[in-house]
Chains A and B, each alone.
Chain A
Amino acid sequence: MRRGAIEFCVLALLQDADMYGFELTRKLSEMDSLVTSEGTVYPLLSRIREEGLVDTFWEESPQGPPRRYYRLTTDGKHALESFRVQWRSFRDAVDKLMEGGA
């Protein structure tokens, strides 16, 4: 379940700003229990890029080598929206059960 959700965490991170790989993977790895190692995010990025949920572009960096930025496509935005709806009802259902109120 976690693996399936990480994809949408990536899309969610990109909804406010485009990010380059290093920035994106570091953000994810800093969140507890989301990803084990930064490198494991790249196969996922490669897949969602192929599926057209994100695409990439290059940009100069103020320091260091140029950066490959990821950004959300229209398909990616739709996929994120549809996940958001599913996730909320899933989370509410689990919360309800966990609190013993069901």
Chain B
Amino acid sequence: MTTTDLDLIVDDYLRQLETALGSLPTARRAQIITEIAEHVSQARSGLPVQDEASIRSILERVGTPSEIAASALTEGAPIAWQRGRQAKRRGVLAAGIAILLVVIGVVIYLAQSGSNVRVPNVVGSNEASAKQLLSGAGLQYSVALRPFGPEESGGPGTVIAQFPPGGTIETSGSPVTLDVKGITTVPSVTVPSVVGESVTAAFSQLRASGLMGESGGTCTRRSGSCELESQVVIAQYPFAGKSALIGSSVALDALPPGVASQLGVVDGMLAMSGRTPGLAQPVAGTVWITSLTQPDKVEPVRVALAGGFSRALPAGSYELSATVPSSPSHSSGTCTSRDITVVDGKTTTIGLHCQSKL
């Protein structure tokens, strides 16, 4: 079996997991899938031999998609132990709404139980007509939005998946979950500017806006905890003023106070970010783009920079590293960013990590 075949086994598993987690909110589902994918790649990196048996045994330890889905669904329920007064109650509103919806669903279900209906197939329709069809059939619906979907699945607002599938017989009043492509009606917020703030202040500001901070560590330590609190945020993605889904992550790049300016890769542009708020103009340099999923298959792509760059790439995960020569206006250094998701040929960069050769 080639590495590609082994990747397919993992991809297939992750797809099954995505289906199993279908009823979760998009942000939560994406987070769980991303982290399980990371878990698998960490486990693979420690394998002496990459073969089918060892990949399958990794996946077996991770558990079946339905097992993980069952655990994810019970996560919403109240827990047995008191958390103490400091426990955060963030997400309580969302959980409350979810529980309320479930209760309403159950009430309607109980009120109408008895009559069976055939679930119409609404995949490919737009959201509005899908809702109409489902209400017409006497069914409830809930919409899970995906920021993006497969290429072939139509424009924003198109239903790309449903559960239960069309043709199934369900009790009248049962809920049907729709996965709708594109950010159409998802509750979103405007990302606040946290550049120049301490990491602690940035995290609480983001939390107050319904977002989650994620810090790119610049600490070097092997024992104990990484002291990020005192560091100063020098860059953020998404940028301030952009809209982001509630509950989504904002990647922060932070540096200990006193460290000189660093290089950053933001929005497809190699940029220099200083200690002062805001990002400086792009600088010239060279960028290597390597596929993370098939590091041994894809040759690094060199892109010459002249006031930033843009380059169409197939969808996937990439590692992007940049080296920029020293000049009077900036120090030399290397910048590695992770979690670059390429959608429709447009590069989006999050999870920045820079090292400066001072």
Contact = CB atoms under 8 A, between A and B. Distances in A.
Interface residues of B toward A: which range?
35 or more
Interface stretch (B2-10, B81-89, B113-121, B255-263): B81-89
Contacts of A95: none
A96 B46 CA distance: 45
Contacts, number: 169
Interface stretch (B142-150, B161-169, B209-217, B273-281): B209-217
Interface string A46-89: 11011111011111110111111101101100110111001100
Contact of A75 (B72, B82, B86): B86
B84 A60 contact: no
Contacts of B237: none
Contact of A25 (B39, B81, B228): B39
Interface in B75-113: 75, 79-91
A4 interface: yes
Contacts of B303: none
Interface string B338-352: 100000000000010
Contacts of A53: 87-88
B292 A37 contact: no
A100 interface: no
A33 B252 CA distance: 37
Contacts of B284: none
Contacts of A58: 214-217, 338, 351, 353
Q: Which of B31, B63, B89 has the most CB of A within 10 A?
A: B63
A82 B90 CA distance: 19
A40 B67 contact: yes
B44 to A, nearest CB: 8
Interface string B217-239: 10100011110100000000000
Given A39-B62, A64-B46, A71-B226, A51 B88 contact: yes
Contacts of B351: 58
A45 B35 contact: yes
B207 interface: yes
Nearest to B216: A58
B311 interface: no
B45 interface: yes
A50 B74 contact: no
Q: Which of A22, A74, A83 has the most CB of B within 10 A?
A: A22
Given A75-B88, A79-B83, 13 more contacts: A7-B81, A16-B224, A22-B39, A22-B43, A39-B39, A40-B63, A40-B67, A57-B214, A57-B226, A59-B226, A63-B46, A71-B226, A74-B86
Interface of A: 1, 3-5, 7-8, 16-18, 20-22, 25, 29, 36-40, 42-47, 49-53, 55-61, 63-69, 71-72, 74-75, 78-79, 81-83, 86-87
14 contacts: A3-B74, A3-B80, A5-B80, A42-B35, A42-B68, A45-B35, A47-B91, A51-B91, A55-B214, A58-B214, A68-B35, A78-B86, A83-B83, A86-B82
